[in-house]
Structure 1
Amino acid sequence: MSAPSASAPAASAASAGLSPARVAFDADGTPCAPDYGDVYHTAAGAFAQARHVFLAGNGLPGRWQGRERFVILETGFGLGNNFLATWAAWRADPQRCERLVFISLEKHPLTPGDLARVHRASEETALAAELVAQWPPLTPDLHALDFEGGRVQLLLVFGDALQTLPGLQAEADALYLDGFAPSRNAELWSAELFRRLARLVAPGATAATWSAARAVRDGLASIGFAVERAPGFGGKRDITVARHAPRFVPPRPAAWRPPHAGPRQALVIGAGLAGAAAAHGLLRQGWQVEVIDRQAAPAAETSGNPGGLMHGIFNAPDSLHARWFRAAALRTARLAAPALASGRVAGRLDGFLRLEPRLDEARARGQLAAVGLPADWIAWQDAEAAAAFSGLTGDEPCGGWQFRQGGWLSPADWSRHLLQGATFRGGLAVQRLQRENGLWQALDADGRVLAAAPVLVVAAALGSPALLQDRARLPLVPVRGQTTVLPAGWPGLRVRPSQLRPLSGQGYALALPDGRVLTGATTQHDDPDPQVRAADHRHNLQRAQRLGLVAAGAALASLDDQGDLDGRVGWRAVTPDRLPLAGPPVDEAALAAAASGRQRLDALRLRPRLHDGQGGLYLLTGLGSRGLASAALAGEVLATWITGAPCPVAADLRDAIDPARRTG
């Protein structure tokens, strides 16, 4: 049981952030919530209660058997015992569904220490240890945690239930209604909450709860459930079980697009960060994915840089932009951790510093308190602490934001890692697309079919508009960037590379594993020059000097002789709002016709998509200069467009990266 309602007594916090739960124990050792005067589960045991009430009450494990995917929605995560019991039942069932998605709401999540404490004597010690190890920072976001190689996914929604339910995009096959008693946490059982749940119920869904209160039974009945009493548990006479059997099922809106129902096969054009992320998202859904690229190897163009920064951003108030990059960076850090630990991907994600010379400490701390993000995600460091963290002291010392899980990754390594499991074919230059016999075909300059699949993802960066034959308006701007690599032992460095931590201000710097230091990068519009230029090295060195990375005399002495400096040139595909494009592209001609006919087009879902009558065409591009942070989550959001799986971000964040939005 838990308390994601709007009126929780514990909600009075010193900041605008989440208020963690307080956990105590009764005389018999049962965990309870002092702020609610209620227990988390009966003295008979959390797992026994979960099996009797929620699993058996929803006909599990039988109902998930033979399914491709089964989705459970829980209204209170609490201590996590219902999730652990369900996961254990899934593991023990030889006929289990391919993928189990468990979505759980929680307004007052436990701190990592309290979560570990309550599970020390768990009935499922190993599973509980995995949950504790993956417990996210307490930020007001949707957090995706993966278990069993991604076949079991926990989507934790931290925040008020009435506020977060409208943002969920999922169809739940089973509801676990598990909050504190209606008399103590009324809003979690309110008519308004049931109305918001109604949108998320899949055909044939079931529901179960330990409560037999009249308000609970009436709430379920009001959204089309046939409600019954069942034998209770732990001293309770009855529990409530229900099956969704509405008298009237309204038709789907005209703009509703069903998920792909044919063979789970996709073709991705482009093997940089965007294409690799698209493949990764679909592979996680059990799809077969083929990726083709004009280069012989993956990540051979801009994604081939030796390193790049990976971090979130911070705004006060907490903007849509900041929320997207926080969610994306958190997801990337979680996915990259095993690959970094094994050495498969070069980089480090144990801290990144964003210098802010125009922000004083008082204003910074005021902004942080107003937004309320936890210190294990972001913290303000004054000038002295910033210098100690980064290893650098610039000409004008200043403080900055330290992102605890930020740092850097090798884009090429990360791209290749995301492509694991896909079929890659290089050296194939696609010139044209066509659809024949239910398949999307990629053709070369001579009209030969290079590859085909029922679903196609165009992830060709700045080449994407041409492949779509300019029928979809893609507001992509090519931005040239040149990096500078200072060789190991370069005499002008003011810090040992082993002591340098990733940072940015005006420019950025990071130390590569071989002792070289990467810095840069230029930002140049309308510049098609592919050559590495001494003038751009000069620019990068001057900014590195202001960061404190390069000694002034050494930098100036080197400006006339750049022969010992390496670098790369690439073009970022940038959107005006600096957010990626992920989803089905808009048909501009059909949109203009609809607008002239005065059709309602205010909601993004109402806007016509390219090849709507045929389906299967999607887009992922516009990653810009923050592709390392954005790519993986954007690819997973794209995969939910295609497959109908629960979306790993709230609706407004998916809309923020939808190609149907107006970015210019």
Structure 2
Amino acid sequence: MSRKYEVLVPAVATPDGHGVPHSPLYGDVYHARAGALAQARHVFLGGNGLPGRWRGAPSFTVCETGFGLGNNFLALWLAWRSDPQRCERLHVLSFEAHPFTREALRQWLAAPLEGEARALADQLLQAWPPLLPGLHRLEFEDGAVTLTLAFGSVSRMAKEVDARVDAFFLDGFAPRRNPEMWTRSLFGQMMRLANQDATAATWCSAGQVRRDLAAAGFLVSKLPGFGGKRDMVAATVRSEMRRPPGAQAYSSRPSRQPVLVVGGGLAGAGVAQALALRGHAVTVLDPIFREGLGASHCGHLAAALTPVATRDDDIRSRLSRAGAERALQRWQGLNDAARPLVCGTLTPARCEAEARTGRQALAELAFPSDWVRWMEAAEASRKAGCSLPYGGMWFAQGQRVLPEPLLNALFMFPGVTCHAKHVAGLRRGDGETWEALDSRGEVVARASQVVLANARHAAALLASVPGLAVPAKVAEMASIAGQVSYLRARALPDARAIVAGEGYLLPALDYCVDETGAGRFTDEAALMVAGSTYDKLTGEARVTARGHQEILGKLADLLGHASAAGVGGTTTAIAGYPDADVWRADAVVGGWAGWRAAVRDRLPVIGPMDGASGLWLACGYGSRGLTWSALAGDIIAAALNREPMPLERSLLTRIRPR
């Protein structure tokens, strides 16, 4: 495992002699005896001049160095709700090395509260993420209040976050108990994040803390303390340390200018929804819209969206985890068929050696079981509907998606307008405007911000811009054809989850989850979707008998017995099935074929184009279009709207166009 990987250890609290939550690990209490919300209002809100400083602003960002039980966040949220002159959007970025589990938060945070505070705490509990290292974006008040949680040591995560902060809440355990929360290095990272008028406040008035804040660039002063403490500290960025507005990566004032998106597939849909949610007027151009808003996946009955877990928690694993979380938050609120079915994904081991490796990897990663766990043979077999003697890795949040309904819903989202127009080139117009040109060189659309989400055609559009170098990864992007097969559901009548490995099989399209959470079938004639093939050498994406044969072979290997997969009468046996005839060629009743665009490292290409202000890429998704779609949209939208970024800087660097 990489030496950079940190196992996330949940917090534990016990009551001290006065009933205040106490950390046995650090030997300190989580808040003052006089009350957590009262302390937050006096020290952190009062010390930062809130709510007065956010009034009339389109957005305001707070960074907290220790989330703890979440009392400071609740106090801030309550103040925002009660202020008629509040900022339009409130963003909170909070670090926590040892987050509480949902049940522990319910005990220590929610249970003592009443009224509005209890209602907000319950919303926080409902949205609380699995305890996984990295960044987690939670949204409340229809997205007007966001909470970005950075799980992991503050010394590491402070270097990974990107935001423009207006106010800092310094709230770690006492310096003698947890010195990592009060270092010059951390205060230096705060200065990197600080807007030019940023302030900071803390209950801690230790001389070394004051000196280190001053050395980092803050003007430090003492104020009356809270709950028996004589002093607290308030600070502001010194005038000589302030950056001119043009020197900042993100200014404090977002601009909701119209945005043009080129591409009518999953990439364009994810970007369009994320921008429209933030009030942008989004125009999407693609000639395929002549055939319907979901035409890029017309006939593609179902697909899988599931994260990946690797033994060293590599870049691909971390990105897929972030993408799956974003999709859950973005798409579970959609209606009817557009809403993905959370049915779980099982990745079976093919032998005892693979099972040992899988169990060991999960033990080393120490991921929470509500995200991924090892499922032993009996339970795995019930999920898959066939005998899986070695068990497998179970992702509870694996999702079965119906691509065409999803695309229809995203492109019909309020604020999104779609036109069936072809874009053959780009050029700079007047000022900061981009112009999209058709094949005759005529302008078909204008916008100050343009997102190229048109997969393998992105390189040609970039090449059309005079003087703009096409990033090497984009120039080398490969087009890969692939197909899926449709099988009669009688082939696997008891499958209840996605089963995925080298190939995959989805639950029957008639399988749904009722209001009690129980699964059921509704139609005996339903189909199952299996995949998939990869063909770099073909010039056409089409369904073939050879493709069906390849997919049946993958299923045979995936589900327990690899034998000769035949089309045209030969049987492919699957261990545990009494009737092998279900795998004859007549089980296949159709399929779908399409294109993937992939770059050499198999990571997506998402972010701004260097040297071309206002031009963005969202492409190269390969076979994980569903995984990256919502995540890419929020990355671009967060940058345009000066929000804390929803992904670590090290990951953003790896997927940035280059």
- The TM-score with structure 1 as length reference comes to 0.86
Question: Using a 3 Å threshold, how does the CA distance of structure 1 residues 227 and 303 change in structure 2: closer, same or farther?
Answer: farther
CA distance in 2, matches of 1:22, 1:558: 52
Question: Using a 3 Å threshold, how does the CA distance of structure 1 residues 252 and 126 change in structure 2: closer, same or farther?
Answer: closer
Q: Post-superposition shift, 1:316?
A: 1.4
CA distance in 1, matches of 2:256, 2:168: 29
Matched letter for residue 565 of structure 1? V
Verify the 8 A CA contact 2:297 2:404 in the aligned structure 1. no
Q: Post-superposition shift, 1:555?
A: 7.4
Q: Post-superposition shift, 1:313?
A: 0.8
Counterparts of residues 44-83 of structure 1 (less than 5 Å): 44-83=34-73
For each residue in 1:251-284, what CA deviation from the matched residue of structure 2 results, as whole angstroms up to 9, or x when unmatched? Answer: 8999968799765211101121101111223234
Q: Post-superposition shift, 1:351?
A: 1.3
Q: Report what 1:647 is aligned to.
A: 645
CA distance in 1, matches of 2:178, 2:280: 42
Question: Which of 388, 392, 401 in structure 1 is aligned with 2:386?
Answer: 392
For each residue in 1:103-142, what CA deviation from the matched residue of structure 2 results, as whole angstroms up to 9, or x when unmatched? Answer: 0000111011100111112240110001011111111110
Verify the 8 A CA contact 2:54 2:87 in the aligned structure 1. yes
For each residue in 1:191-215, what CA deviation from the matched residue of structure 2 results, as whole angstroms up to 9, or x when unmatched? Answer: 2222222211110101111111112
Matched letter for residue 73 of structure 2? F
CA distance in 1, matches of 2:127, 2:254: 33
Matched letter for residue 396 of structure 2? R
Q: Post-superposition shift, 1:21?
A: 0.9
Q: Report what 1:8 is aligned to.
A: none
- The reply on whether 1:182 has 2:175 as its aligned counterpart is yes
Matched letter for residue 596 of structure 2? R
CA distance in 2, matches of 1:398, 1:424: 50
CA distance in 2, matches of 1:411, 1:68: 35
When the two structures are aligned, how many residues end up with a matched partner?
A: 610
Question: Which of 404, 409, 432 in structure 1 is aligned with 2:401?
Answer: 409
- The reply on whether 1:552 has 2:610 as its aligned counterpart is no
CA distance in 2, matches of 1:145, 1:88: 16
Verify the 8 A CA contact 2:106 2:125 in the aligned structure 1. yes
SS in 2 for 1:295: helix
For each residue in 1:207-241, what CA deviation from the matched residue of structure 2 results, as whole angstroms up to 9, or x when unmatched? Answer: 11111111221122112211111122111122111
CA distance in 1, matches of 2:27, 2:254: 48
Matched letter for residue 380 of structure 1? W
Question: Using a 3 Å threshold, how does the CA distance of structure 1 residues 449 and 571 change in structure 2: closer, same or farther?
Answer: same
Question: Using a 3 Å threshold, how does the CA distance of structure 1 residues 457 and 58 change in structure 2: closer, same or farther?
Answer: same
Q: Report what 1:452 is aligned to.
A: 446
Q: Report what 1:4 is aligned to.
A: none
Verify the 8 A CA contact 2:572 2:584 in the aligned structure 1. no
- The reply on whether 1:581 has 2:640 as its aligned counterpart is no
Q: Post-superposition shift, 1:455?
A: 0.7
Q: Post-superposition shift, 1:335?
A: 2.6
Structure 1 unmatched runs, 5+: 1-14, 586-608
Question: Which of 493, 496, 502 in structure 2 is aligned with 1:496?
Answer: 493
SS in 2 for 1:552: coil
Question: Which of 548, 551, 554 in structure 2 is aligned with 1:540?
Answer: 551
For structure 1, which segment, 342-351 or 376-385, has the greater mean C-alpha deviation from structure 2 after superposition? 342-351
- The TM-score with structure 2 as length reference comes to 0.87
CA distance in 2, matches of 1:543, 1:184: 55
Structure 2 unmatched runs, 5+: 511-525, 566-570, 574-578
**Identity rate, percent:** 39
- The reply on whether 1:109 has 2:120 as its aligned counterpart is no
SS in 1 for 2:158: helix
Q: Post-superposition shift, 1:83?
A: 0.3
Q: Report what 2:505 is aligned to.
A: 509
Question: Using a 3 Å threshold, how does the CA distance of structure 1 residues 487 and 346 change in structure 2: closer, same or farther?
Answer: farther
Counterparts of residues 560-575 of structure 1 (less than 5 Å): 565-575=589-599
| CA-atom RMSD in angstroms | 2.6
CA distance in 2, matches of 1:375, 1:218: 44
CA distance in 2, matches of 1:284, 1:88: 23
Q: Post-superposition shift, 1:303?
A: 7.6
For each residue in 1:291-350, what CA deviation from the matched residue of structure 2 results, as whole angstroms up to 9, or x when unmatched? Answer: 1221122332248622111111111112122111112212222333333xx525243224
Matched letter for residue 230 of structure 2? R
Q: Post-superposition shift, 1:460?
A: 0.9
SS in 2 for 1:465: helix
SS in 2 for 1:640: helix
Question: Using a 3 Å threshold, how does the CA distance of structure 1 residues 180 and 248 change in structure 2: closer, same or farther?
Answer: closer
Q: Post-superposition shift, 1:407?
A: 2.7
CA distance in 2, matches of 1:355, 1:487: 22
CA distance in 1, matches of 2:181, 2:369: 29
For structure 1, which segment, 468-477 or 402-411, has the greater mean C-alpha deviation from structure 2 after superposition? 468-477
SS in 2 for 1:286: coil
For each residue in 1:383-424, what CA deviation from the matched residue of structure 2 results, as whole angstroms up to 9, or x when unmatched? Answer: 333212222226xx4332111211321223333444412322
Matched letter for residue 486 of structure 2? V
For structure 1, which segment, 300-309 or 617-626, has the greater mean C-alpha deviation from structure 2 after superposition? 300-309
For each residue in 1:515-548, what CA deviation from the matched residue of structure 2 results, as whole angstroms up to 9, or x when unmatched? Answer: 2100111111121224322222222223333344
CA distance in 2, matches of 1:193, 1:478: 45
Q: Report what 1:275 is aligned to.
A: 268
Q: Report what 1:288 is aligned to.
A: 281
Counterparts of residues 146-165 of structure 1 (less than 5 Å): 146-165=139-158
Q: Report what 1:601 is aligned to.
A: none
Question: Which of 114, 122, 134 in structure 2 is aligned with 1:141?
Answer: 134
CA distance in 2, matches of 1:389, 1:559: 23
Verify the 8 A CA contact 2:196 2:242 in the aligned structure 1. no
CA distance in 2, matches of 1:440, 1:356: 51
Q: Post-superposition shift, 1:502?
A: 0.6
- The reply on whether 1:440 has 2:440 as its aligned counterpart is no
Q: Report what 1:122 is aligned to.
A: 113
CA distance in 2, matches of 1:434, 1:192: 44
CA distance in 1, matches of 2:651, 2:55: 33
SS in 2 for 1:166: coil
Q: Post-superposition shift, 1:616?
A: 0.9
Q: Post-superposition shift, 1:560?
A: 6.2
Verify the 8 A CA contact 2:486 2:591 in the aligned structure 1. yes
Verify the 8 A CA contact 1:260 1:616 in the aligned structure 2. no
